[in-house]
């Protein structure tokens, strides 16, 4: 019996991320995020600036972020490292593991870990897929009398790791900011959901 040819990792990764138009009759279909990227924070708050900075720091620490020292009193910074969901949306991967007539398995494009079965003809291979997020939040709190203006944005760095059955692996990264989207070379598109941005202003009273 002849040996079955192992697919290259690049070919497998491409299958995971092919867009819907090109993938209508294939084993995998990718659907991009339906929403729009969340925008940077720009809000006037009905509290003095020093109290606002304290609230912002408390919000970020309670959410498990790590505060970062800065050389400016009006700036608050923090980092996040871990799961990508629910902070970003990378669409959905639909896997037709039992053939085209069966209901597909749906996997989030930003899922921390996923096993996706790739089928072609009589071949069936399992790909291990991981996604992790590193993020940096930068917040500026400027005094405006007895009020404060809060501006902030997040820088997102998304790392995607794909492992093939033959032991090969592929690591790729993208970065984008609040209000932007980012796309991997092989099609997966990611955008911020706004949940990290909203941590900044949680519980702050908006000025009229």
Could you tell me the two tokens for 172?
A: 């790729």
Percent of the chain scoring above 90 in pLDDT: 65
Give the Cα-Cα-Cα angle 192, 128, 180 (nearest 5 degrees).
15
User: What is the rounded average pLDDT for all residues in the chain?
Assistant: 85
> pLDDT, tens digit, for every residue of 139-186?
999 999 999 999 999 999 999 999 987 778 899 999 999 999 999 987
Cα 105 from Cα 119, distance rounded (Å): 13
29 C-beta neighbours (distance < 10 Å), count = 20
194: left (phi over 0), alpha (psi -120 to 50) or beta: left
Sequence ranges of the domains in the chain:
9-201
* pLDDT at position 100: 53
* pLDDT at position 99: 53
* pLDDT at position 165: 78
Q: Examine residue 86 and say whether the peptide bond preceding it is cis (omega within 30 degrees of 0).
A: yes
Q: What is the mean pLDDT of residues 3-30?
A: 47
> pLDDT, tens digit, for every residue of 25-60?
456 788 999 999 999 999 999 999 999 999 999 999
Percent of the chain scoring above 70 in pLDDT: 81
């Amino acid at each position: 019996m002849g040996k079955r040819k192992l697919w290259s990792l690049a070919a497998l990764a491409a299958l995971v991320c092919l867009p819907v138009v090109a993938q209508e009759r294939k084993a995998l279909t990718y659907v991009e995020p339906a929403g729009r990227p969340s925008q940077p924070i720009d809000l006037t708050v009905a509290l003095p600036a020093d109290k606002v900075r304290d609230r912002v720091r408390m919000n970020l620490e309670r959410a498990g972020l790590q505060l970062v020292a800065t050389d400016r009193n009006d700036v608050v910074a923090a980092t996040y490292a871990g799961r990508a969901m629910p902070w970003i949306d990378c669409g959905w991967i639909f896997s037709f593991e039992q053939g085209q007539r069966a209901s597909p398995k749906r996997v989030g494009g930003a899922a921390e870990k996923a096993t996706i079965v790739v089928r072609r003809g009589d071949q069936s291979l399992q790909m291990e897929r991981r996604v992790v997020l590193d993020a940096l939040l930068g917040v500026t709190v400027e005094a405006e009398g007895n009020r404060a203006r809060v501006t902030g944005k997040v820088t997102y760095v998304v790392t995607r790791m794909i492992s093939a059955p033959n032991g090969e692996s592929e690591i790729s990264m993208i970065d984008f900011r609040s209000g932007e989207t980012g796309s991997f070379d092989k099609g997966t598109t990611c955008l911020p959901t706004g949940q990290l941005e909203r941590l900044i202003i949680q519980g702050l009273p908006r000025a009229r």
